[in-house]
Amino acid sequence: MLKANAPKCNIRGNVVVEENPYLPERARIVRKFDLTRDVRFFQVRICDPDKVMTWTTNYKPGQFMMVSLPNAGEAPFSITSTPSRPGLFEFCIRKVGRLTSKLFELKENDYIWLRGPFGNGFPVEMMYGKDLLFVAGGLGAAPLRSVLLYALDYRDRFGKIFYLYGARTPDDMLFREEFFRMKERDDFECYLTVDADPTGLWPFDIGVVTSLFKYVNVDADNTVAIVCGPPVMYKYVVDEFLKIGIPDDHIFMTLERKMKCGIGKCGQCVVEHKYTCVDGPVFTLWDVKNIRTLI
Amino acid sequence: MRVFKLKRENFIPFMKGLSKFGELWGPVRKGDRYVYANEPPEKFVLNAIRTIVPAKKFFLPQKSTILKFKNNEWREHYDVKKRVIFGLHPCDIHALNIYHKFYTRLYPDPYYLKNRENTLIVGLSCLPDENCFCHLTDTETVNEGFDLFLTDLGDKFLVWVGSPKGDESLKLVKDLIEDTTQKDIDEYVEWRKKRRSMFKVSLDLEGMPEILTFNYDSPIWEQMGTACLSCGTCTMVCPSCTCFDVDDEFDIRTDEMNRQRYWYSCVFREYSMVAGGHNFREARSERLKLWYTHKLVGFMSEYGSPACVGCGRCVVSCPVDINVITVAKALLKEKPDAFWARMASSNVEVQHA
Ligand SMILES: Cc1cc2nc3c(=O)[nH]c(=O)nc-3n(C[C@H](O)[C@H](O)[C@H](O)COP(=O)(O)OP(=O)(O)OC[C@H]3O[C@@H](n4cnc5c(N)ncnc54)[C@H](O)[C@@H]3O)c2cc1C
Ligand code: FES
């Protein structure tokens, strides 16, 4: 289990490495099924029984893993499961290229390789006692599901919880059935919308995700807002947060960059002086204003 | 710091003595420039100016295998040799110190550390040419980051001991070194004065972070983007550039998969491309701007000093004369030199990618 702390030193003050941060750990696909046309859900378990519990309890919602297959490359994927339900890691993976296509060919009990967890994750402790407002778009539901499930598992630590999720069509909505059932819970508010409904069977709102803000009723000064989705969505959603009066440093978003190492070395995720993989992928609105070209 | 004296006639035996630590590498001539090569010390050029490729190649090789995959298992792979690297100038050592900070912070890099542990760094003083500007980047002298450092005073060298490893290595050559005298120290002070007076480049680099920040939207970047070939030479020769890429390669002979890492450049177009083909830095000017802001501003806020050590490699290597000096001059609105005058009058269409 890797931790980004101050490096360990020996008696001479020389840095020593206890675990090679590039060395992947083998995991087995326990279960997989399609969430949408091009997004598949993977449940995986670390093969080494001694590591299963430490790995699956020691991460934060919002962190990611570097997932790899020999000869197909390695890429970052958000962990969509929560450390409050240990044992397995869950990922939602969209088929876009070389590695992801290879991952889609795998069957149950095939192996994949993991490194991590990496990234700063959401500051869950600082969210205690606050109202939470989640806004997800498309595949952005993957990292948000982790923090949502976490908050629901420790429900007594948080104030009101609002979850707004928009997808293009009902068929593009990740975890559709899971969220349908969540709507029936009475300890938080879950609102779903689609841009368009070709099926004519969609029972909830139709419209862009910002149209769901009419349902939101939070204590603005005491609210943490999190948005995750395609880059085009951020501006509109952030405007809504600001309209409600949520402070800049209480607005969080996760950002995507190309990542090859996950540990602040390869430089491919750099934005000005920030390395998205270690200083992010979670940033506040203040960071976004302060660091040019972040979004 | 401990200092000894080495007579010039003892230089070759001194080097041969040190080579008991490991393979001996030093600057040798290649065409009209220099490279680090594994050669006998008789071939080393003591007044060599900057090498083409900096010494970072010993710590992060151009291409190396970091992991091997066989029988469903990834294993670490190290290809480490014990080496003595001779001839690093103060700027080169400053750059290695940047490397060291960078590769040991957060998640220390085991490959870098293994290479570093197995290397004896023997620095060498130098006299600047017209492209050196370490006097502007505060890297003209060096106090740490080497094991031994030789100051060339003509008939003798001063040998500075910079680390326990360096101290240990002196046991290999203990009959060749002697204590310094007041006369040696006086000569050294004179030598420093002489060296200081030889720098030609004059430029205000100190204000660069602010200047770059204020000039973020300056048309200069577009101009440069037009000229830039995106060849990546600047990043390859820059001693403080650290970026790499990773890919797997199948080795038919051993039936193994090798995970390779190799140098990569932020000026390449693919650098900032993410899923769906979206590119955060489509234009060449954007990528150049990233390089200069990361080096001269970004590094400042993270490490307290810029990541330019004034070695002049970008100055002599960029085929179209985009380098720290021309960029800084352009941003400072100093009288543009011939290059920028040519640029401004050429009226070339701004192209992308
Ligand atoms: C912090 C983070 C979390 C992510 N979480 C998820 C997730 O939960 N689910 C998901 O499906 N995807 C996620 N991604 C995106 C995912 O990493 C890319 O889709 C993946 O790298 C594509 O790999 P590939 O080999 O299949 O594509 P390639 O064949 O390599 O390329 C296809 C396209 O993806 C781009 N690309 C290549 N490497 C990366 C990279 N490392 N990051 C982004 N784009 C890249 C290429 O430029 C190209 O446009 C996340 C990315 C980041 C940075
Ligand atoms: S992914 Fe390598 S530095 Fe961030």
pLDDT tens digits for A224-257?
A: 999 999 888 988 999 999 999 999 999 999 988 8
Per-residue confidence in pLDDT tens, chain B, 353 aa: 789 999 999 999 999 999 999 999 999 999 989 999 999 999 999 999 999 999 999 999 999 999 999 888 999 999 999 999 999 999 999 999 999 988 988 899 999 999 999 999 999 999 999 999 999 888 999 999 999 999 999 999 999 999 999 999 999 998 999 999 999 999 999 999 999 999 988 888 878 888 888 888 888 888 888 888 888 888 899 999 988 999 999 888 888 899 999 888 887 766 666 555 566 666 777 788 888 888 877 777 777 778 889 999 999 988 888 888 888 888 887 765 566 666 655 544 444 44
- Going by C-beta distance under 8 Å and a sequence separation of 6 or more, which residues neighbour residue A135? A164, A165, A209, A212, A225, A226, A227, A228, A229, A237
Distance of CA A171 to the CA centre of its chain: 21
pLDDT for B277 equals: 57
* Residue A201, min C-alpha distance to chain B (Å): 30
- B43 touches B87 (CB < 8 A): no
Please calculate the CA angle A20-A25-A30 and round it to the nearest 5 degrees: 165
Mutual orientation of helices B284-293 and B220-227 as an angle, nearest 10°? Answer: 110
Q: How far apart are CA B27 and CA B92, in angstroms?
A: 13
Place of tokens 């083409």: B52
Q: How far apart are CA A224 and CA A218, in angstroms?
A: 10
- A260 touches A270 (CB < 8 A): no
* Long-range contacts of residues B48-52, Cβ cutoff 8 Å, at least 24 apart: B48/B87, B49/B126, B49/B129, B49/B132, B50/B89, B50/B132, B50/B311, B50/B312, B50/B313, B50/B316, B51/B27, B51/B87, B52/B237, B52/B313, B52/B317
Residues with CB under 6 A from ligand 2: A 259-262, 264-269, 275-277
Report the relative pairing of strands A251-254 and A282-284 from DSSP bridges.
antiparallel
End-to-end alpha carbon distance in chain B: 51
pLDDT for B341 equals: 60
pLDDT for B350 equals: 41
pLDDT for B142 equals: 92
Q: How many whole angstroms from A259 Cα to the centroid of ligand 2?
A: 5
3-state SS class at B328: helix
* Residue A216, min C-alpha distance to chain B (Å): 32
Q: What is the ipTM of this complex?
A: 0.87
Phi-psi region of A139 (alpha: psi -120 to 50; beta: other; left: phi over 0): alpha
Would you list the domain boundaries of chain B? Answer: 3-58+68-197, 208-345
- A35 touches A92 (CB < 8 A): yes
pLDDT for A1 equals: 47
Cβ pair B248:A72 closer than 8 A: yes
Q: What is the pLDDT of residues B145-162, one digit of tens each?
A: 999 999 999 999 999 999
What is the rounded radius of gyration, in angstroms, for the C-alpha atoms of chain A? 19
pLDDT for B351 equals: 42
Provide the 10 A C-beta neighbour count for residue A107.
7
- B145 touches B121 (CB < 8 A): yes
Q: Which residues of A touch B274 (CB under 8 A)?
A: 256-258
Q: How far apart are CA B243 and CA B229, in angstroms?
A: 19
Residues with CB under 6 A from ligand 1: A 64, 73, 75-78, 91-94, 96-100, 139, 142, 256-259, 281; B 273-277
Q: How long a stretch of residues is chain B?
A: 353
Question: What is the chain B residue with the closest CA to A100?
Answer: B275
Q: Which DSSP string do the residues of chain A spell out, in sequence order?
A: ----SSPPB-TTS-B--SS-TT--EEEEEEEEEESSSSEEEEEEEESSHHHHHHHHHS--TT-EEEEEETTTEEEEEE--S-TTSTT-EEEEEE--SHHHHHHHT--TT-EEEEEEEES----GGGGTTSEEEEEEEGGGHHHHHHHHHHHHHTGGGSS-EEEEEEESSGGG-TTHHHHHHHHT-SSSEEEEEES--TTS---SEES-GGGGGGG----GGGEEEEEES-HHHHHHHHHHHHHHT--GGGEEEE-----SSSSS-S-TTEETTEEHHHH-SEEEHHHHHHSTT--
Q: Which domains, ranges and CATH numbers included, belong to chain A?
A: 16-117 (2.40.30.10), 124-254 (3.40.50.80)
> Can you list the residues of chain A whose pLDDT is less than 70?
1-7, 11-13, 293-295
pLDDT for A4 equals: 53
pLDDT for B352 equals: 41
Closest CA to B66 of B244, B210, B222, B190: B244
Within 13 Å of residue B217, how many CA atoms lie on the same side as its CB? 2
Q: How far apart are CA A97 and CA A103, in angstroms?
A: 10
Cβ pair B298:A265 closer than 8 A: no
Choice from A36, A59, A77, A113 to test ligand 1 binding pocket (greatest atom count within 8 A of CB)? A77
Distance of CA B156 to the CA centre of its chain: 27
Question: What is the chain B residue with the closest CA to A72?
Answer: B248
